Structure 1
């Protein structure tokens, strides 16, 4: 079964309007100024040939956002975190996969970074075709060379990746055979597993709010090759090692300083590292994490406005989680999702009017307050024999007294 975004758009009237545009798109005023001054290409040159159209039901299900409308440019999100140089809100805000579903929903599955996709019935063969004209946040073109380099020279390089994750292995097993990558052309590629696994769908972006980042499989090769001995000269790598104060044989350490995993994107060390999300990390003071609009973001709304609407995403850094409610009440935060302790909710609700904010308790299903996960990467064969059995995991789940947890915690 082959999926093409054009067909998917045509099947949904509200999105059909998104494929009939005038030649000119609209962009944020601050980007328009950069174009006018010659510091940035025109928006038509920055967008892919076929941008993702965001309208009612795309990204957020209609039931969760029934009054969707075209937005306006400007402003900033202000979140808060007591985690050092980190904020889950910002991490998830820039999450993009090859595929996409509305948040917290299993479907519909739509094309995202990939313009076309085809997945066989047992989830062992995945075909993707990238969007023509897609660009990294620094303006460099995206191609299957980024896919090839990431898999063949990073994931399969035993010095960089001693133990590749199960998402790269047959049957999603830690001891499974590594998948085969076939580069078809500059945009199309195919991944084949000896044995399929439905869990792979979430790693490609289906029904996943976080952890489905494209950069498991695709990193900006034009940046990383400068630090890889198969592409950079020995003299250049030695020069870079000396700059860092590293030993002559520590090229892997140097490479990992530059290489960014999906969960590291909000950190200061990633400032300037190309990505495909709506915002990119920039230099900032230690009291703030700042991410600014990606001028090459590949999505538009139904009126042809390049997204995102919001100029920047900022996280206020505090030393202790106890300080979070007071910052919210004091007006320093305008959009927050995590790290609110349940016993602080009454205080926040009481001060909604004075603080000019609203607390939504109907979104609590976003994260389970307590989650238990088995370690599928444990190499112990006895452990694997037990934990890999679905019946065992179901039995453990049935043995948990959920009502007792609810009564004691909530």
Structure 2
């Protein structure tokens, strides 16, 4: 795995601390909406989104995306990525990774049987195209000024490594199915479904509310003894919208 310092983009996102830079390691306390047993919240800590919500829980601000622009009637969205992002193996992260995620994973019924409504427009697929390495375009079926909000939510990371996955698609590789079969899958679609359908964690339904704090051990110090979050403690709340509104007013 490429060291983090060599994976930093040419235009890194700089976040100004509220008061001071905190201490590394320790315990991180947060709240969980308890959706899908809370796994989406945890995955959003492990991964990053194109955009994110600011502290007011309403304003969408940049994250992996450097900027985004709409046309006059909010039917064409162009998202510009910050230059120089890399995957953990050192391969460039580009707009083509976003196009593959949408066109070849989200909209492939052999991989995902039913797409999430939030990634559709007027109930139909959006036209997603990588215009170049740092610009991806979304063409809606009707005005959708709130569409970027979908990428700020939990478990909404709209990209997958094309350089790794395209070899299992007949569209990109005529021997895709044969390669997947050599790895024990029926075909390329079966392999993609196993890797990318939604989550590599098994998602279980919420059967009852919990009264106590739920503790998830997420990060410990790594083999190089670098500090990380030791525990991530989630308070699962049933009425998420009201609770989050109350938290925002504190």
**Does the pair score TM above 0.5?**
yes
What CA distance in whole angstroms lies between the structure 2 residues aligned with 1:80 and 1:164? 27
Cα distance, 1:127 vs structure 2: 0.7
Q: CA RMSD in A?
A: 3.9
Give the SS at the match of 1:47: coil
Q: Deviations over 1:338-375 (max 9, x none)?
A: 25x89xxxxxxxxxxxxxxxxxxxx972289xxxxxxx
Cα distance, 1:46 vs structure 2: 2.0
Could you say which residue in structure 2 is the equivalent of 1:392?
none
Could you say which residue in structure 2 is the equivalent of 1:144?
95
Give the SS at the match of 1:110: strand
Length-normalised TM-score, structure 2: 0.71
1:101 aligns with 2:41: no
Higher relative contact order (CA 8 A, sep 6+): 2
1:253 aligns with 2:171: no
Length-normalised TM-score, structure 1: 0.46
Could you say which residue in structure 1 is the equivalent of 2:163?
222
Specify the structure having the higher radius of gyration (Cα): 1
Cα distance, 1:337 vs structure 2: 2.5
Could you say which residue in structure 1 is the equivalent of 2:243?
365
1:181 aligns with 2:128: yes
Q: Which has a greater percent of helix? A: 1
What CA distance in whole angstroms lies between the structure 1 residues aligned with 2:197 and 2:27? 25
What CA distance in whole angstroms lies between the structure 2 residues aligned with 1:288 and 1:55? 28
Q: Which has a greater percent of strand? A: 2
1:128 aligns with 2:79: yes
What CA distance in whole angstroms lies between the structure 2 residues aligned with 1:112 and 1:293? 26
1:235 aligns with 2:186: no
Cα distance, 1:234 vs structure 2: 3.4
Matches within 5 A, 1:49-198: 49-56=10-17, 68-77=19-28, 87=39, 89-94=41-46, 96-107=48-59, 109-170=60-121, 173-174=122-123, 176=124, 178-198=125-145
Could you say which residue in structure 2 is the equivalent of 1:46?
7
What CA distance in whole angstroms lies between the structure 1 residues aligned with 2:31 and 2:69? 40
Cα distance, 1:146 vs structure 2: 0.7
